[in-house]
Chains A and B, each alone.
Chain A
Amino acid sequence: MMLSLAILALLSVAAPWVCRYAGPARGVVLAAFPLGIGAWFASKIPAAADGEGIVESVAWLPELGLELSFRLDGLSLLFALMVTLIGAGVLLYAGAYMKGHHQIGRFFCYLIGFMTSMLGLVLADNLILLFIFWELTSITSYLLIGFNHDKKESRAGALQALMVTGLGGLAMLAGLVVLAFAAGDLAGVAGGVWNMSELPEGLSGHAHYPWIVALVLAGCLTKSAQFPFHFWLPSAMAAPSPVSAYLHSSTMVKAGVYLIARLHPNLATGTAEGLWEGLLIGFGATTMFVGAYLATRQTLYKRLLAYSTVSSLGVMVMLIGMGHPDAAAAYILAHAMFKGCLFLVAGIVDHEAGEKDVAEIGRLFRAMPATALAAVLAGISMAGVPLAPLAGFVAKEKMIKAGLDAGPLTALLTALIIAAGSFTVFIAIMTGFKPFFGKASREPKKHAHEAPWPMLAAPVILAVLGIVYALVPALFATPVVTAAGEAIKGGPFEAALRLDAFYYYEISLALGLSLLATLIGVGIYFGRGLWVKATSPFAKLDGVVGPAKMYDYAMLGLTKGSWAQTRVLQNGSLQVYIKMTLVAILGMFAWAIWRTGFLPSVGTNFERTGLLEWVLIISIAVSAIVATRLGSRLATVAVLGVIGYAVAVVFALYGGPDAAMTQFAVETLIVVIFVLVVYHLPRFAVYSGLAVRVMDLLLAATFGGVMACLVLAAGSQELFAPISAYFNEAAMPETPDGQSAYGRNLVNIILVDFRSVDTLGELVVLGIAAIGVYTLMKLRDDQEGTPVAEREGDEDQSEEGDA
């Protein structure tokens, strides 16, 4: 498992080179890797299905409870197969779809980076690890939605998706931490339980249970585009079609569903009235209905599919909440096939016929027969047409049966399912039938022709698999769906799962309702002009107080609020900043002394102060005074350099050669940088009046005095045993044990070994600072007329982002 992640991560970094050297074969070359990994996962179906699953684990940051622990069980396997196999098809497709794009290497880097993150997400067992992969999918999704970043709608859609899923993700992080500690309480583990496979039963009895549910669901519901957070998904359709098919239909948007399913055995209360189940059914059913309804008012191919995906995600959440894990798993697999196929078809229609609006186009069957065939099969599957032996029909029958078995909610849920089902039939006709056989209002913009084979492969295979699913379920559907369903349920099913279509051909209420939904859907299709008119008042309402509008208001408020607080707190005067900082620090000292009543005694041991020390002290003091009196910045900088050197000598005298060396080097470079900055500053002048300057002097003197006392106090008492003895022993023990750091310079060993994670973090900060300086100065250049082209070459340096 870890090896597969490593391979994909490396492939992501290598993708630009593959694109450069493989030429038209890029899609085949890149797709081979996830295909191979998918085959490996497929070979693990029996092993993953036996309940325990396959576990791999490596310590990472044990001090923080972080572990690279991965676990492949039935649920992970279902998602891992979708991520790798659909991913392989999408890579093949994208190789042809993105042909000729000038940043094609970058595109594949992002896309495979996303694949890695998504695979990591569904395999991770550690909660924090899951969160890291979760956020990585948000970030790669942001990059992919905004891939055509010269378009305003791409940027807006990317930012919207990141804001909504990112905020939800932060709430979820809090929820996961509370969850881990609550689980630790129940299991009697002090540091919390961080591996999901070790979470105990009975979390619903914990005092923090409502918080856990609310926070974790905040992350899941935003990620899986549940109403009222659904609006980011249609906006995300600004992404290229392969991205929409892969991220925004088959995989990423299902991450929320995945986590809900993953935590279901631990967070479920066992009754439909429980908090967890109630919220899932409420959000899921609402989303299912609203998403499908909103889709009926769209005419753009991809937006239709996007809203219908919102509806499908609602179905999945609802089915888990209703306690039908088998139906949920069956639906997840069926949906990935028919919706992924239709998104790819939408991309083909756009690419080969230049059309995006399904209301305008029709009769493309002659020009692209294979595409039409795939679309019709996927459409029939999506509609769940009664008696058509396709995956969608089986999943829909299971869904209706679940609705008819919902206790007191039966009437309401069945009505919603049938309504959403009718809308879905209408969407299926609009997306799977109309573009190819319906009436065209005009000729397509481009001369329509069939897509090349790499673009046809994935949609055709997905469409055909929909038949295999329902006719020969034992081939792949039953084992995968059973394993996943049992993982969601948290135990084996009582009866064997039936996914063969014929099983559902009996005359029953469910089949009758399915037929009814189909008829209503066909009715809406023929009366669609009337339907749009009848529903337009609701659309107007949505435009004024809808969730998307609320988001706009919130963003506007955020911008205005930031602007206001910036003007008050960060007014640009360096003097004010420094004064605020000093006063705040003094205030904190005063508060600490007042609260604790602890006033450290100041040591006054000056015995070791010899002639050299006095020379240093006097030169520092004199330089400090001179620095305040000089009328030139350059001279001030030079004098401050003298102070720095003198301090470095103090370090050298008192046994800190490393600190001294660094101080010398830093002082030198700071003077150099200062000299360069001075050039940009206006003429030196004094604007402050006498009163202000006296106040400044008092503040500076107080601060300096307090700091001096603090240093003296710190040097004269020992509150804790120094850690240096431990470091000495760990660095170079008397008896080497293979664990030591093999070194004698403690300062360096702390930096590169004991605390190397901190150092790594600091290096990243340094890198960001360098990029900051670079962009600030270069942007200035651009305004002064330097060609933008110069920047292009340097923008690709984002190695650390992918590593």
Chain B
Amino acid sequence: MNSLVLQTASRFLLPLLLLLSVVILLRGHNTPGGGFVGGLLAASAFALQAMAFDVESARRMLRVNLLAMVGLGLTLALVSGFFSLSAGGPLLKGLWFEVPVLGFDDPIKIGTPVLFDIGVYLTVLGVVLTMIFTLQEVVE
């Protein structure tokens, strides 16, 4: 597809959509959002890029092998569950730590479910893009 409108829009939308997807991923614990929606949103950003230009350029922008990304996501999700085992279990029980961050009054809460959600994000992104890219490459 060679649409100037789409290409120009994609240039501006891609970074915005990616930023939004990360925000949605991280805010998910307290407000609507989470790894699944975030991953879908990021996938649509790259899908837009692939449609406006071509799959090759979208892959270049990603830099990472998609199936490796799926593997990384699954590994992260699984590893996040192992932390609780070291604290006596059960598997995947959420552990939370309070980390003081310079410039904030309250400490930031970080927990293993966040790692799990990042795993969800990466897996969903990798899976959806694998499907879209392989299908689109045949079309191209």
Contact = CB atoms under 8 A, between A and B. Distances in A.
A25 interface: no
Given A68-B89, A665-B37, A773 B120 contact: no
B139 A769 contact: no
Contact of B111 (A742, A744, A778, A797): A742
B18 interface: no
Contacts of B128: 669
A662 B44 CA distance: 12
B81 A760 contact: yes
B70 A767 contact: yes
A778 B134 contact: yes
Contacts of B78: 760, 800, 803
B34 A800 contact: no
A763 B120 contact: yes
Contacts of B109: 742
Contacts of B67: 770-771, 774, 794, 797
B77 A763 contact: yes
Interface stretch (A212-220, A354-362, A676-684): A676-684
Contacts of B136: 676
B41 interface: yes
- By secondary structure, the B interface counts as helix
Interface string B46-71: 01000100000000000001111011
A533 to B, nearest CB: 57
Nearest to B28: A748
Contacts of A745: 28-34
Interface in A349-375: none
Residue of A658, A764, A770, A780 contacting most chain B CB atoms (<10 Å): A770
A219 to B, nearest CB: 25
Contacts of B137: 777
A259 B128 CA distance: 44
Nearest to B66: A770
A756 B113 contact: yes
Interface stretch (A55-63, A116-124, A417-425): A55-63
B117 A773 contact: no
Contacts of A59: 88-91
Contacts of B111: 742
Contact of A669 (B32, B43, B81, B89): B43
Interface residues of B, number: 60
Given A62-B90, A741-B94, A752-B120, A770 B126 contact: yes
Contacts of A773: 130-131, 134-135
Interface string A738-777: 0001111101110111001101100110110111011001
Nearest to A676: B135
A780 B131 CA distance: 15
Interface string A777-788: 110110000000
B32 A657 contact: yes
B10 interface: no
A688 to B, nearest CB: 28
A743 B70 contact: no
Contacts of B70: 766-767, 770-771, 797
B90 A747 contact: no
A666 B41 CA distance: 9
Contacts of A778: 134
A590 interface: no
Contact of B134 (A662, A760, A766, A777): A777
A743 B31 CA distance: 9
Nearest to A736: B96
A442 B138 CA distance: 58
B33 to A, nearest CB: 7
A748 B134 contact: no
B132 A673 contact: yes
Residue of A657, A677, A760, A800 contacting most chain B CB atoms (<10 Å): A760
Nearest to B96: A742
A748 B33 contact: yes
B13 interface: no
Nearest to B90: A59
A672 B29 CA distance: 29
A800 B138 contact: no
A517 to B, nearest CB: 53
A661 B24 CA distance: 10
Contacts of B14: none
A793 to B, nearest CB: 8
Contacts of A756: 77, 81, 92, 94, 113, 116
Given A745-B33, A774-B134, 20 more contacts: A60-B89, A61-B91, A658-B37, A669-B47, A672-B51, A742-B111, A744-B29, A747-B34, A748-B28, A751-B35, A752-B34, A752-B113, A767-B74, A770-B130, A771-B67, A777-B137, A777-B138, A797-B65, A797-B68, A798-B71
20 contacts: A59-B91, A661-B33, A665-B37, A665-B44, A669-B44, A744-B31, A747-B32, A752-B120, A756-B81, A756-B94, A757-B91, A760-B81, A764-B74, A766-B123, A767-B127, A771-B67, A777-B134, A781-B138, A794-B65, A800-B78
Interface of B: 24, 28-37, 40-41, 43-44, 47, 51, 65-68, 70-75, 77-79, 81, 85, 88-92, 94, 96, 109, 111, 113, 116-117, 119-120, 123-124, 126-128, 130-132, 134-139
Interface of A: 58-62, 68, 657-658, 661-662, 665-666, 668-669, 672-673, 676-677, 679-680, 741-745, 747-749, 751-753, 756-757, 759-760, 763-764, 766-767, 769-771, 773-774, 777-778, 780-781, 794, 797-800, 803
